[in-house]
A and B are shown apart, each in its own frame.
Chain A
Amino acid sequence: MTRWNDGHDEIGAVSADITEETNALPAQYFTDPDVHEMEKEKVFGRYWVYAGHANRIPERGDYFTRTIGDRQIIVTRDDEGGVRAFYNVCAHRGSKMLDDTPMTDPGSLSRITCPYHLWAYELDGDLASTPKSFEEASLNPDLDDDAVRELDPAENGLMEVNLDSIGPLVFVNFQDDPDLTLAEQAGSMKDELEALPLGEYEHARRYVSEVECNWKTFSGNYSECDHCQANHQDWVRGLELMESELEVNDYHWILHYQHKEDVDDEMRIHEEHEAKFYYFWPNFTVNMYGTADGYGTYIIDPIDEGRFQLVADYYFRDSELTDEEEKFVQTSRQLQEEDFELVERQYEGLRSGALAQAQLGPNEHTVHKLHRLAQEAYEA
């Protein structure tokens, strides 16, 4: 029985059993501004979240910035060649230090310097130097220079953020002591992706779209293909949807789509003769199309409860695309636009307040997993 907001039906928690009626997250979790605020901590502050691609910062001092919820970080290559992440916040008085610098147009620096009072930091985050006005008290008649506290470089350095990688894909975790390691959260996905030569591919394109719906609305749409036959007719023409499989794991799920006709090995970077779409909780996907010698990633970044940014990146052997690759990207963009129409329409309905709790079908088990993980995060 459908649970409408008609004063009669009660909503329930997302059932563990998908065959039960309350198998979906109640609608208010998609439309309530307080939920958006809660997710900043309970979802994006708790799990491993994608930060960017290490290939974009190959040299010492290369960096990009990334904003996750309200947190702004710098991802940089240190003196030892490792990738590290720090809050983009000065240890002195909390100023934001570096301007927003997207991964697609990375910057380079030898030290991280705050423009406010010129505190400078080494690439390992240690405080490197402060102006003389922080070493002596010449303007303060009540204080002798000898009384000025010396600043220990390590204890007054930048606040580091936990960072780990799957191949060239860099993830961060904002917990002091993460509940899970990245390997635990990624499970078998880590081994599968690390077996592929992802690092040999160059970033070629980034398309960013703002979509008027909750981020989980799009995530749910990405995670199932019951809508594909009716809404992605050009794309499904080449697929055997009934031969496909949706595989669910602890914190990721994989959509295996079989192609009708075999595709040359050179047109895939993975072995299986299929398209493989990985969804990694909470908001990252790796798209192995199976019809292009390249791959894509999506970041599904919330703006507020009713909007998100889809950051779509494409990687190919060469950053200069062939005509065929250009055409491939256009097809992928077409899919995105078709999905944007669907999710904005769904969200318009959800936002109207009529439906209290949706109900999922038996082949929407990936969406069920998404909703279960969201609920688990909220309750944590």
Chain B
Amino acid sequence: MASTTDAERPHAGTITCATCDFHAVITEPNDAIERYRRHRSVTGHDIKWERTALDAGLDTDDVESALDALGDEYPDGVPLGVLTAALSEQEVTIEATLDAIYDLRMAGAIYEPRDDHVLVV
């Protein structure tokens, strides 16, 4: 069976940094998180989801509620890339989502069964 090429694989969406004027296609959702952290560490700039191909169908902009809603679909942990993409459709930035996740984790409200995958306790 022929292997799937990058071009054929479904994309999670595109991310952008308005300051640096780049637009990058993201295939694995958590690559957006890795890219966000790397870019922020050398620029301080925010990266945002520009378009997402994930149809999460959220009707909330509350991070904990969103995570709870997505948890059924991702029983091994919701990838932070999926969560940030889903919340971006509710106008919540990656920065705001990750900040909220940090606060929730520090409050013991969520846990991280795998690196960068989270679930509500």
Contact = CB atoms under 8 A, between A and B. Distances in A.
Interface of A: 65, 67, 100, 102, 104-105, 206-210, 303, 309, 311, 333
A240 to B, nearest CB: 31
Given A207-B20, A209-B22, A333-B21, A105 B41 contact: no
Contact of B44 (A104, A207, A210): A104
A105 B44 contact: yes
A104 B35 CA distance: 18
A206 B41 contact: no
Contacts of B20: 206-209
Given A207-B20, A208-B20, A209-B22, A102 B44 contact: yes
Contacts of A333: 21
Contacts of B42: 100, 102, 206, 208, 309, 311
Contacts, number: 36
A104 B43 contact: yes
Contacts of B17: 208
Contacts of B43: 102, 104, 206, 208
12 contacts: A102-B41, A102-B42, A104-B44, A105-B44, A206-B42, A206-B43, A207-B20, A208-B20, A208-B45, A209-B20, A210-B22, A303-B38
Interface in B28-63: 35, 38-45
A355 B44 CA distance: 39
A333 B43 CA distance: 16
A71 to B, nearest CB: 14
Interface residues of B, number: 15
Chain A contact surface mostly: strand
Nearest to A99: B41
B110 to A, nearest CB: 21
A360 B35 CA distance: 34
Contacts of A100: 40-42
Which 6 residue pairs spanning A and B have beta carbons closest together?
A: A100-B41, A105-B44, A207-B20, A102-B42, A208-B43, A102-B44
A207 B40 CA distance: 11
B24 interface: yes
Given A104-B43, A104-B44, A309 B22 contact: no
Contacts of B40: 100
Nearest to A72: B41
Contact of B38 (A206, A207, A210): A210
B92 to A, nearest CB: 22
Nearest to B35: A210
B27 to A, nearest CB: 12
A333 B20 CA distance: 9
Contacts of A311: 42
A67 B39 CA distance: 12
Nearest to A311: B42
Given A100-B41, A309-B38, 20 more contacts: A65-B41, A67-B41, A100-B42, A102-B43, A102-B44, A104-B43, A104-B44, A206-B42, A207-B20, A208-B42, A208-B43, A208-B45, A210-B22, A210-B24, A210-B35, A210-B38, A210-B39, A303-B38, A311-B42, A333-B21
B54 to A, nearest CB: 22
A207 B44 CA distance: 11
Contacts of A207: 19-21
